[in-house]
A and B are shown apart, each in its own frame.
Chain A
Amino acid sequence: MKSSPTIALVGNPNAGKSSLFNQLTGLRQKTGNFPGVTMDKKSGTWPIDAQYTATVIDLPGVYSIYPKSLDEQIVTDILANPAHPDYPDVSVVVVDASNLHRNLLLFTQVADLGVPTVLALNMLDVAHQQSKVVNSVRLAMSLGVPVVRINARTGEGVDLLKKAVLGQIQEPVLPGKLFFDPADEASGLIADTKTQYKLTNNYLALQYIIQHDGFSFLNQPQRKALDVIIQKHQFSETTFQAGETITRYKRIAAIVTEVVSDQRPANQPTWSQKLDRVLLHPVWGYAIFGFVLLLIFQAIFAWAQPFMDAIDSGVAWLNGQLKESLPAGPLTDLLTDGVLAGLGGILVFIPQIAFLFLLIALLEESGYMSRVMVIMDRIMRKFGLNGRSVVPLISGVACAVPAIMATRSIGTRRDRLITILVTPLMSCSARLPIYTILIALVVPSTRILGVFNLQGLALMGLYLLGLVSALLAAYVLKVLLRTKERGYFIMELPTFKLPRWNHVGLTVWESVRSFVWEAGRVILAISIVLWVVASYGPGNDMEEAEARVKQQNPTAASDALQDRIASERLEASYAGNFGHFIEPVIRPLGYDWKIGIALLSSFAAREVFVGTMSTIYSIGSGADEEGVTIRERLRQERNPETGEAMYTPALAWSLLIFYVFAMMCMSTLAATQRETKTWKWPAVQLVYMMALAYVTAFATYQLLK
């Protein structure tokens, strides 16, 4: 027997799988309270005894081995394929004792696949509250596998689980016969499949038949061959699968009546259900959700501000220190104006992302998020979305990348695709600095009706514009993407639970870490490239430009002269040449070549825009209040043709609208590509959002001009 066995944790959503995973591996990670949170493969090591150290894999929560969504597919792919690298030596099925019937359905399927199994009986305390007593010895006898009573939250029973798993590794005990033997009903079909694929297990053979299109380990000829067998036996997959579920439930019902005593009638309203009456109430339900949204926005925009300011001034201070202590030269410039400025642009978003994911994690952990999905489903459906689209759309306010990854729990393919395509229209936190600076430039900071700040209202308007356009785009896509697939929304409403703070903390840490790492690398690379193309030019154009300025202004004050030189040098640089090159295209939107450089540089990540603007307008060096300085500088900028202020309201609004719609984020496109597995959809996303941005910005500028 190998000394590093693989253990898979399998179970229904909310059965306590991830909590048990934490207990076993000590590798803290997250458990959600609504179906489908554990998405990526999570694994860790579990020292069982001196001889064995197991690799534990936490599989996504499922109700059966017939997958309903993308993240559920992996469970079947592993358990039905003994050749899979993650195929377990033992699978631990975590079962919610307060709902044995539904949980045992999955258990009997896993056991029938022939994997050595241990049943971990969890949530006995909840069952106890419902005055259910489960006789685990009898359960083990009727099922024919070891049953261990555990408490995944406290770690009680983990030692016993160790012994049981060890037993299953050394001398596997399998149930004497299948809980459901497909050969009873379709012996010819099963026999043919077993012969063709050299299988020994009847139930595995059935899975080959029913799931032959889904299994990732079957190739095209194998699928065709299975089609032939199905044809030959006139086999109806759906009828058979329905029959299987009913037969299994019958067996389970017989077992459960034997092992559970004092069954309480199912429909008594518990405190959780009473709470639901309020949270799903036509008035209170939306009022509470509205309040929660308000809280999230308050956290992102107000509570995060002091932290962001601190990071901002910290980076500025460090920048100043480095400039003073290092010898002047291109390397120092690259480090300070290139690398550090780029890094600062990333770090400053951490507080907002942390706050957003803290609140979302709390909502998920408590079970409230599933209620939000229920009350929003009807409205979202009108726009071709799904109740489950709410989480991605809310997350999109911080960053579209984790938001797009959160769409995996949406079972309907079209709903999921539409959600992915429109999520980037939600104004993410990278747009916020652009909004802030441009609004401050053209909207007066006056109060209306004594309470509303005009600038705040303008900001809110831009966010609303993002939301409304996301919904409208979804509607258009719904009309365009006709499908025969029937959308559905069937979801367990888990009982309310107190959040586990270690899980919440871990979620926040994970999202911040992946943001800094994923987005950070792109932004860092761009800022370095940008610094290079802005610092060097073709031939010695830049030196000539500098000499020309000096010649033209022999008497100018040194500060003003330096500014002039920097600006002229920039125009002569590669970046300046780019800017001039695209100027004809962006001229109708009101932009000049300088904004062109900023647009180009922020093409891969929009947060670069502000940094580029400061570089272009040659400020930022020694300025500790960068925001104010750049605003002042933009205000002073003159239009070379008219001599009037360059940043007119028409131009500023045109830019604002452009950034609401434009798809300026490589990381998002990469996420879309990963999640849709084609280049088609990121291309569609890029083209439709860019077209939308161009047309609306054009209209805005021409109307306001």
Chain B
Amino acid sequence: MSKRSVADLKIGERATIESFNNQLMSLKLLEMGCLPGAEVCLHSKAPLGDPICLNVAGYCLAMRKSEAATILIDN
């Protein structure tokens, strides 16, 4: 099974960011505080399941599922 990403999280589930699989996207995400080792929690999803809202670094960050899929997490 391939690596899980933030896009696979269920509502309320927590995980730790491990790495990214898209370098350009990772620049934006890193700046917003999505760092390897940081804990994320899926807080809610927009209707239709996309975009999703994460709790990360003490605030709420919305992003598309395709962007969340570039954030790989620890199993």
Q: Is A612's CB within 8 Å of the partner chain B? A: no
* A280 close to B (CB within 8 Å): yes
Interface of B is mostly: mixed
Contacts of A378 in B (CB 8 A): 46-48, 50-51
C-alpha gap A246/B34 in the complex (Å): 10
A346–B53 Cα distance when bound, in Å, is 43
In the bound complex, what is the Cα–Cα distance between A370 and B53 (angstroms)?
12
Residues of A within 8 A of B33 (CB): 101-102, 105, 249
What 0/1 readout, one digit per residue, does chain B (53-68) give for beta carbons within 8 Å of chain A?
Answer: 1011111111110010
Which partner residue on chain B sits nearest A243 by CB separation?
A: B30
Taking A238-B24, A488-B25 as contacts, is the C-beta distance between A246 and B44 under 8 angstroms?
Answer: no
A410 to chain B, nearest CB (A): 14
**Given the complex of chains A and B, what is the CA–CA distance between A283 and B46 in angstroms?**
10
Q: Are A490 and B46 in contact (CB under 8 A)?
A: no
A57 to B57, CA, bound (A): 29
What are the residues of chain B within 8 A of A242 when measuring CB–CB?
Answer: 23, 26-27, 30
Contact of B32 among A102, A286, A374 (CB under 8 A): A102
Set of chain A residues within 8 Å of B9, measured between Cβ atoms: none
A375 on interface, CB distance cutoff 8 Å: yes
CA distance A283 to B29 in the complex (A): 30
B39 at the interface (CB under 8 A from A): yes
Check A492–B27 contact: CB distance below 8 A: no
What residues of B have a CB within 8 angstroms of the CB of A66 in the complex?
Answer: 27, 31
Q: How far is the CA of A238 from the CA of B25 in the complex (A)?
A: 10
**Structural contact, B27 and A241, CB atoms closer than 8 A:** yes
B51 contacts A374, C-beta separation under 8 Å: yes
Are the C-beta atoms of A276 and B47 separated by less than 8 Å?
Answer: no
Q: Is the CB of B23 within 8 A of A491?
A: no
Q: Would you call the interface of chain A mostly helix, strand, loop, or mixed?
A: helix
Within 8 Å of chain B (Cβ to Cβ): is A239? Answer: yes
Interfacial residues of chain A within 347-392, with CB under 8 A of chain B in the complex = 370, 373-375, 377-379, 381, 387
Known: A101-B33, A267-B41. A377 touches B50 (CB 8 A): yes
The answer to whether A267 and B25 touch across the interface, beta carbons within 8 angstroms, is no
Contact between chains at A239 and B62 (CB < 8 Å)? no
**When the two chains form their complex, are residues B46 and A286 in contact, meaning their CB atoms are under 8 A apart?**
no
Q: Do B44 and A280 have beta carbons less than 8 Å apart?
A: yes
Q: Which residues from chain B contact A273 at a C-beta distance below 8 Å? A: 43-44, 55, 60
**Bound state CA distance, A387 and B62, in angstroms?**
11
Supposing A276-B53, A280-B53 touch, asked if A491 and B44 sit within 8 A by C-beta, the answer is no
Contact at B63–A489, with CB atoms within 8 Å?
yes
What per-residue 1/0 map shows which CB atoms of A285-317 lie under 8 Å from chain B?
A: 110000000000000000000000000000000
Find residues 240-282 in chain A having any chain B CB closer than 8 Å to their own CB.
241-242, 245-246, 249, 266-267, 269, 272-273, 276-277, 280-282
How many whole Å from B5's CB to the nearest CB in chain A? 15
Number of A positions contacting B (CB below 8 A): 47
- What residues of B have a CB within 8 angstroms of the CB of A490 in the complex? 28-29, 32, 61-64, 67
* Least distance between B1 CB and chain A CB atoms (Å): 26
- Tell me which of A105, A246, A493 contacts B61 (CB under 8 A): A493
The reply to whether B64 and A488 form a contact with Cβ atoms under 8 Å apart is yes
A-B contact count (CB 8 A): 127
Question: Please, how many angstroms separate the alpha-carbon atoms of A70 and B59 in the complex?
Answer: 25
Q: Given A101-B33, A105-B31, do A489 and B47 touch, yes or no (CB 8 Å)? A: no
Per-residue B-contact encoding for A88-107, CB less than 8 Å = 1, 0 else: 00000000001101100100
Distance from B36 Cβ to chain A, minimum over Cβ atoms (Å): 7
B73 interface contact, C-beta 8 A: no
Chain A residues closer than 8 Å to B25, beta-carbon distance = 486, 488
Q: Are A245 and B64 CB-contacts (below 8 A) given A238-B24, A375-B46?
A: no
Say yes or no: A99-B59 contact (C-beta < 8 A), given A242-B26, A276-B44, A488-B25.
Answer: yes
Q: Is the CB of A488 within 8 A of B67?
A: yes
Contact call A246/B30, Cβ cutoff below 8 A: yes
User: A102 to B59, Cβ gap below 8 A?
Assistant: yes
> Is A64 at the interface (CB under 8 A from chain B)?
yes
Measured in the bound complex, the distance between the Cα atoms of B58 and A445 in whole Å is 57
A456 to B22, CA, bound (A): 51
B47's closest neighbor in chain A, by CB?
A: A282
Q: Judging by beta carbons under 8 Å apart, are B47 and A285 in contact?
A: yes
Closest A residue to B31 using CB positions: A64
Closest to A272 in B: B60
Establish whether residues B43 and A276, one from each chain, have CB atoms under 8 Å apart when the complex forms. Answer: yes
Question: What's the minimum C-beta distance from A277 to chain B, rounded to whole angstroms?
Answer: 6
A285/B46 in contact, CB under 8 A: yes
Question: Residue on B with the closest CB to A249?
Answer: B35
Q: Give Cα A492 to B26, complex, Å.
A: 16
Q: Within 8 Å CB of B23, what residues of A? A: 238-239, 242
Contact A238 B27 (CB under 8 A): yes
Q: Which residue of A lies closest to B48 (CB)?
A: A378
User: Do A374 and B53 touch (CB < 8 A)?
Assistant: yes
Q: Write the nearest CB–CB distance from A369 to chain B, whole angstroms.
A: 12
Q: Which of A64, A99, A241 contacts B58 (CB 8 A)?
A: A99
* A52: interface (CB < 8 Å): no
CB pair A266–B32 under 8 Å, yes or no, is: no
Decide: B32 and A267 in contact? CB cutoff 8 A. Answer: no
| From B28, B43, B64, residue with most partner A Cβ within 10 Å | B64
Pick the residue among B31, B44, B57, B62 that contacts A99 (CB under 8 A).
B57
Report B-chain residues with C-beta under 8 Å of the C-beta of A489.
51, 62-64, 67
Give the docked Cα–Cα distance between A238 and B59 (Å).
Answer: 26
Identity of the chain A residue whose Cβ is nearest the Cβ of B24 in the assembled complex? A238
Q: What's the Cα separation between A266 and B16 when bound, in Å?
A: 13
Bound together, the chains give a CA A416 to CA B4 distance in angstroms of 32
**Bound complex: CA A68 to CA B29 (Å):** 12
CA distance A490 to B39 in the complex (A): 18
- How many angstroms between the C-alpha atoms of A375 and B51 in the bound complex? 7
- B35 in contact with A246 (CB, 8 Å): yes
Contact status of A101 and B50, CB under 8 A, knowing A246-B30, A276-B44, A490-B63: no
In the complex, 25 of the A-B residue pairs with CB atoms within 8 angstroms, ordered by the A residue number, are A68-B28, A102-B33, A102-B57, A242-B27, A249-B33, A266-B56, A266-B57, A267-B41, A267-B43, A280-B45, A280-B47, A280-B53, A285-B46, A370-B62, A374-B51, A377-B50, A378-B47, A378-B48, A379-B48, A387-B51, A486-B24, A488-B28, A490-B32, A493-B60, A493-B62
**Smallest CB-CB A-B distances: 5 pairs:** A282-B47, A245-B30, A493-B60, A267-B41, A64-B31
Question: What 16 additional pairs, Cβ within 8 angstroms, besides A266-B41, A266-B58, A281-B47?
Answer: A99-B58, A101-B58, A102-B58, A241-B27, A245-B30, A245-B31, A267-B41, A276-B60, A282-B48, A285-B47, A374-B51, A375-B47, A378-B47, A381-B64, A489-B64, A493-B61
